[in-house]
Structure 1
Amino acid sequence: MTLTPIKTPLVAKKLFPNYIWDISTTEKVIYLTFDDGPTPEITNWTLDVLNQFNAKATFFCIGNNIEKHPEIFKGILNDGHAIGNHTHNHIKGWTTKAKDYLKNIKDAQEVITAQISNSEFHVHKSSIVNQKSLIINLFRPPYGQITPKQGKKLIALDYKIIMWDVLSFDWDKNVEQEQCLENVLTNTTAGSIIVFHDSIKASRNMQYTLPKILKHFSEIGYRFETLNSAY
């Protein structure tokens, strides 16, 4: 495992107060997020499991993956989940010039907007997502890498930069399934933003952990909502 903490330290949240690390709430609400999709099989499996628990989530999608798998993307919309921008090609902010980084994000956003505009989908009546909320610009930087200049420019463009409160480490091949589950169980509190990945690389750990997380927190009275519902 890397030196990256499972639970984001308070000092990091205070150093970067313009980024969203969690949602302040007294309600028993958790915000599940999934990065890197849409991915064949993995994303559809994720949607099926979320539906079993009537749980909503936010999917931070890669523009290029949306172009390759538009039907899976439509499935995310149809199930009432929220969409976030994860760049067009999963690029690293620290090694990319600001203008190139913003262009890559813009490319992804155009794909997202076009797919939402052109899709005929029916949001479940029980869903907290509606078509207006789908256009909220949520962005998560791949690898968590974003420079102050990039962040400032994105915020000026009305993006909400979504980081996290809890990392599952589902992508790390050195993390066992039981440890991935423990990472989330012991660090999640009301308002936590949790990072999972609907990717092949993370599938072993994520597919083990997600149903257990949904079951555990549902049984103790938590609900799972999209980040759009917080705004």
Structure 2
Amino acid sequence: MLYFVKTPAFIKKLYPECLWNVETNENILYITFDDGPTPQVTSSVLEVLKKYNAKATFFCIGKNVKEHFDIYKQIISDGHKPANHTFNHLNGWKTDDKKYLEDIAEASNIIDSGFFRPPYGRITKFQLRALQGEKFKLKTVMWDVLSGDFDVKISPENCYLNVINNAKAGSIIVFHDSVKAFPRLEYALPKFLDFFSAKGFQFKIL
């Protein structure tokens, strides 16, 4: 499985219309979680975030929100920000434009947000332009640091190191609110929060 833990500058330049990180001189990090809400995972994540007074942005899959709306409401009531991650977790490179945009629109009916993240980070220029238009008015958010928690071949320790070795002020960091990622997430998330809290960082929503 090939992926960049730290997003290279040349990729950011290919998609300048996307948000990759936040320019800031303050000690702030932006944690994001993809793919939830997930009954076996989200409640644990929310408890860890609460312990560190950390706020995060949750890029939710519409069908998961529909099935677990009580968990979705808990995310919001805890002060976190929900965002659109399509309804059916579609790959923009492999999906017809019309079908892809309809799927995002369906998710927008249940997820009230001005932010969108494409599953797998795969989206075409046409799709990006459509999402920026009057119909959607969605800002596409990518990331600066990928934890790799979805990768079953890496250890929980390496997942943690991926984040602390690459995150800096203004970084947008990706974790996954999923059963697959949880063995690495449950180890890396509290240690990451503890590490950067000790350095005086705050964790805010986008």
Does TM, scored on the shorter chain, surpass 0.5? yes
Distance 1:8 1:153 in 2: 24
Instruction: Name 1:40's counterpart in structure 2.
Output: 39
Counterpart amino acid of residue 140 in structure 1: R
SS of match in other structure, 2:108: helix
Q: Find the partner of 1:219 among 176, 198, 201.
A: 198
Unaligned runs of 5+ in 2: none
Report deviation, 1:201: 0.3
Report deviation, 1:3: 2.5
Identity over aligned pairs, percent: 50
Instruction: Name 1:196's counterpart in structure 2.
Output: 175
Q: Find the partner of 2:138 among 159, 162, 167.
A: 159
Distance 1:149 1:28 in 2: 35
Greater helix share, 1 or 2? 1
SS of match in other structure, 1:199: coil
TM-score by length of 2: 0.97
Distance 2:95 2:188 in 1: 33
Counterpart amino acid of residue 174 in structure 2: V
Instruction: Name 1:126's counterpart in structure 2.
Output: none
TM-score by length of 1: 0.87
Distance 1:56 1:67 in 2: 23
Instruction: Name 2:98's counterpart in structure 1.
Output: 99
Q: Deviations over 1:104-159 (max 9, x none)?
A: 0000010124xxxxxxxxxxxxxxxxxxxxx4x10000011101100110011321
Distance 1:203 1:36 in 2: 12
Instruction: Name 1:138's counterpart in structure 2.
Output: 115
Alignment partner of 1:147 is 2:147? no
Q: Deviations over 1:60-95 (max 9, x none)?
A: 000000010011001001000001100000011011
Quote the RMSD (CA, aligned, Å).
Answer: 0.8
Query: How does 1:40-59 map onto structure 2 within 5 Å?
Result: 40-59=39-58
Distance 1:14 1:51 in 2: 35
Unaligned runs of 5+ in 1: 114-134
Alignment partner of 1:210 is 2:184? no
Distance 2:147 2:92 in 1: 22
Distance 1:224 1:10 in 2: 24
Counterpart amino acid of residue 83 in structure 1: P
Distance 1:177 1:145 in 2: 26
Alignment partner of 1:86 is 2:85? yes
Alignment partner of 1:181 is 2:180? no
Aligned residues: 204
Could you list the structure 1 runs, at least 4 aligned residues long, displaced by more than 4 angstroms after superposition: none
Distance 2:44 2:2 in 1: 30
Counterpart amino acid of residue 223 in structure 1: Q
